[in-house]
Structure 1
Amino acid sequence: MIRVETTPRPDWQAAVEAQGLVWHTADGRPYWHEGACYRFTAAQIAEIEAATAELYRLFLAAGDAILADPALLARFDIPPAFHQPIRDAWAAEPPALNIGRFDLGYDGAGPPKLFEFNCDTPTSLLEAAVVQWDWKEAVMPRAGQFNGLHEALVAKWRDIAPYLPPRVHFAHADEDSGEDAVTVAYLRDTAEAAGIDTAALLMDDIGWDEEAHRFVDGDDASIAALYKLYPWEWLTREAFAPQLAESLAAGTTLWIEPVWKMIWSNKAILPILWQLNPGHPNLLPASFDIPQGDAVAKPLLAREGANVSIRRGGRVVAEAEGAYGDAGYVYQAFYQLPEAAPGCFPVIGSWIVDGAPAGMGIREDGLITGNTARFVPHVIVD
């Protein structure tokens, strides 16, 4: 795995905007960074792909163990009213993309190591699926790329289309950066490519029809199916949480992704994975208790690296601010990321669709990967 300096295309902004990535610059510096790329061998990609498939297997087994043991589920700080809906959805396997991004540490020498699984509100999807492929085709057409994301998404929508209602709503929060809007717009495009009728919606515009006992959009039309890029842990704590629990029990709205994603996206699963699979080559030791050695403290519920701190030699060497942490922390053994360039530590985001490895993207930042991390494309060259 080698970081190579490259020359950005003269019209790179227009090129990525044409692919839908309007959020390509943050605080005056490129978020989409094509001034460099990462080169992998086919053998390295095969190792990442195999680790991704193996981690998915571990998460399936962990889900079974957690939902079979009330004491384990209690560690997740999930409101009790949603414990049974999670169990019901896990057993029923409702139509879903089953999409997620494993964030991995990898130095090209040892096995990939799991940092966390972003499977409830995963972003950087358009960049990984479309934008970096378009860049490769324009700049390095003879190189390969670990990237079957777009085709996998369209195929999965087509697969579940017969089990969906006539229209699927797509919703996100009204946030400043536009990152969520870009991700949801892309997923909506993949659904329409599969022949599904869709409608756009802001989360704030979702209402509750008291007479019909169901969720409705801004035009008072029933929301029969909803893809939402919005954390389940927020939904279960908002004013309409009782109505949400009622809707889940009655099945009046099909939620994509399902409510059981709350357990996989919660950092509490990291110590449980280690307890179930001690010494596994793709896992880092993790605990609910502060360990003796170097470790990373992670809130159970957080986004974009917020409130993460790195402890080495008995002192904090890096930390990120944020509004998370009230639900508690887990502690994961520190993994030394390669410093591919001064101040650039790459984290691999390995994607699954329908539980199968489908592609990857790379973000680079300082020791803690936060919301200012840059997305850097990759190629496969032997």
Structure 2
Amino acid sequence: MQVKKVRLDPNWKTRLEGIGFGYHSLDGVPFWVDDYYYEITNKEADLLYTATNELWEMCLAAVEYIIQNKHYAPFHIPAFMIHHIERSWEQDEPSIYGRFDFAYDAAAQTLKMLEFNADTPTSLFETGIVQWYWKKHYFPELTDQFNSIHEQLIASWKMLKPFLKGDLLHFACAKETLEDLTNVEYLRDTAIQAGIATDLVYIDDIGWNGANFVDLEDRPIRSIFKLYPWEWLSREDFAVHIINDVLKTQWIEPSWKMLLSNKAILPILWELFPNHPHLLAAYFKRPSHLQHYVKKPILAREGANVELYYNNELIYATEGAYGAEGYVYQELANLHREDSGFSIIGSWLIGQESCGISFRESDMPITTDKSRFVPHIIK
């Protein structure tokens, strides 16, 4: 795996805006990298594919273990949601996607899972569409990319269609969130291509009629995809209605994903699968032998409130408003580093199968919402 450069297209911003990518820059600083890329080998692509599928099976086993043993305390999930989680798991309510974040050590050829973005992973549009068109622009010849996201999304929606409640699938995100809206509209477009009737409703506009959730036209919401974290949703004023819903609205992602999007899953995976080659040691309390580690809030998002320690000394930290629920301690990983920065690999799982990757790059060894998106090709 290595970084390579291309001659920058002077019209790159216009080209990206032409396919609906309106947040290619943040405060004038490019979020999207157009003039260099990561080149990976087929062997590395195969490793990512296999590891992603294997970790997904391990995560499902972990959910079963947590539910069977009522091991909810470390997750700090509101008590009223427990039954909803258990029902969604027992009824096998469908999941459409997730993204594992990996640290890849090219020298040792090891791939370590940093965390699992199981509920509201973003950068799907960049991964499935933008980097594909980037490849077609710079490499119009037969060059491969680990990216079958678009096809897999359509196939997955087709598979889910018979199991959706009602005749309309709502898609939701918060208002005035361009990145979230772009990702939601992309997912919605793939559902439409799969033959599903859809409509957009903002989280802010979801109503309650005394028995069911409704949209702005007072139509009952039977099935809804929401790009809005369960830990936020369960703390909204109307959250109690989630369990009072007569029609039992079908939420995608389902509430059992709360167990996987929470950092508390990391120590549990380590407990269930100790010394697994794709896991980093993780604990709820830091053992004395762990001297190089990362301290992560169990409900943090986008790299907020993360602390990196080397020889028990703090070397990097990010700010934020998380940490009240507690922390986990994870073994410090070896991140891939180039002159351009530190990188992690996001490996996407759609329809129960690995189907694409994304690279995020930072000037420091913590990935945040400001971390750059770098496209890739397979050598």
Under a length normalisation based on structure 1, what TM-score does the superposition of the two structures give? Answer: 0.95
The secondary structure found in structure 2 opposite 1:303 is coil
Shift of 1:122: 0.5
CA distance in 2, matches of 1:60, 1:329: 23
1:129 and 2:128 aligned: yes
Match of 2:343 in 1: 346
> Secondary structure, in 3 states, of the residue corresponding to 2:201?
strand
User: 1:166 is matched by which residue type in structure 2?
Assistant: D
Which of 261, 267, 274 aligns to 1:278? It is 274
Q: Is residue 146 from structure 1 mapped to residue 177 from structure 2 by the alignment?
A: no
- Summarize deviations over 1:218-261 as a string: whole Å, max 9, x none: 222211111100010111112112111212xx443111111101
Residues in 1 aligned to 2:163 and 2:61: alpha-carbon distance in whole angstroms: 26
What's 1:2 paired with? 2
Match of 2:223 among 211, 222, 225: 225
1:300 to 287, 298, 301: 298
* Structure 1 SS opposite 2:204: helix
RMSD: 1.2
Compute the TM-score of the two structures, normalised by the length of structure 2.
Answer: 0.96
Count of residues in correspondence between the two structures? 373
- Residue 332 (structure 2) pairs with residue 334 (structure 1): yes
> Aligned ranges for residues 1-382 of structure 1 at < 5 Å?
1-70=1-70, 72-97=71-96, 99-108=97-106, 109-141=108-140, 142-164=142-164, 165-176=166-177, 178-210=178-210, 213-247=211-245, 250-291=246-287, 292-342=290-340, 344-365=341-362, 366-381=364-379
Alpha-carbon distance in structure 1 between the residues aligned to 2:44 and 2:95? 30
- Amino acid in the other structure paired with 1:216: V
Q: Percent same amino acid at aligned positions?
A: 45
Kindly provide the amino acid, as one letter, of the partner of residue 122 in structure 2: T
**Residues 129, 147 of structure 1: 8 Å contact kept:** yes
Q: Secondary structure at the match of 2:51?
A: helix
Distance in 2 between residues matched to 1:16 and 1:256, nearest whole Å? 29
Name the aligned partner's letter for residue 360 of structure 1: I
Q: Report deviation, 1:338.
A: 2.0
> Unaligned stretches of 5+ in structure 1?
none
Gaps of 5+ in 2: none
CA contact (8 A) 1:121 1:229 kept: yes
Query: Structure 2: which amino acid aligns with 1:379?
Result: I
Are the structure 2 counterparts of residues 251 and 258 from structure 1 closer, same or farther at C-alpha, using a change threshold of 3 Å? farther
Letter in 2 for 1:353: I
Report the Cα distance in structure 2 between the residues aligned to 1:218 and 1:307, rounded to whole angstroms: 37
Deviation for aligned residue 1:107: 2.3
CA contact (8 A) 2:295 2:307 kept: yes
Structure 1 residue 290: deviation in Å? 2.1
**8 Å Cα contact 1:310-1:319 kept in structure 2:** yes
Cα distance in 2 for residues equivalent to 1:13 and 1:26 = 12
Structure 2 Cα separation of the partners of residues 8 and 155 of structure 1: 35
Q: Is the CA contact (8 Å cut-off) linking 1:96 and 1:160 kept in structure 2? A: no
Give the Cα–Cα distance (whole angstroms) in 2 for the partners of residues 374 and 339 of structure 1.
14
Counterpart secondary structure, 1:112: strand
Pair 1:320–1:175, CA change in 2 (3 A): farther
Deviates more, 1:185-194 or 1:86-95: 86-95
Q: Which amino acid aligns with 1:83?
A: I
After the TM superposition, which parts of structure 1 deviate over 3 Å for at least 4 consecutive aligned residues?
A: none
Counterparts of 1:378 and 1:283, CA distance in 2: 24
CA distance in 2, matches of 1:251, 1:112: 43
* Per-residue deviation, residues 264-291 of structure 1 (Å, max 9, x unmatched): 1000000000011111000000000124
Q: CA deviation at 1:7?
A: 2.2
Worse overlay, 55-64 or 11-20: 11-20
SS at match of 2:38: strand
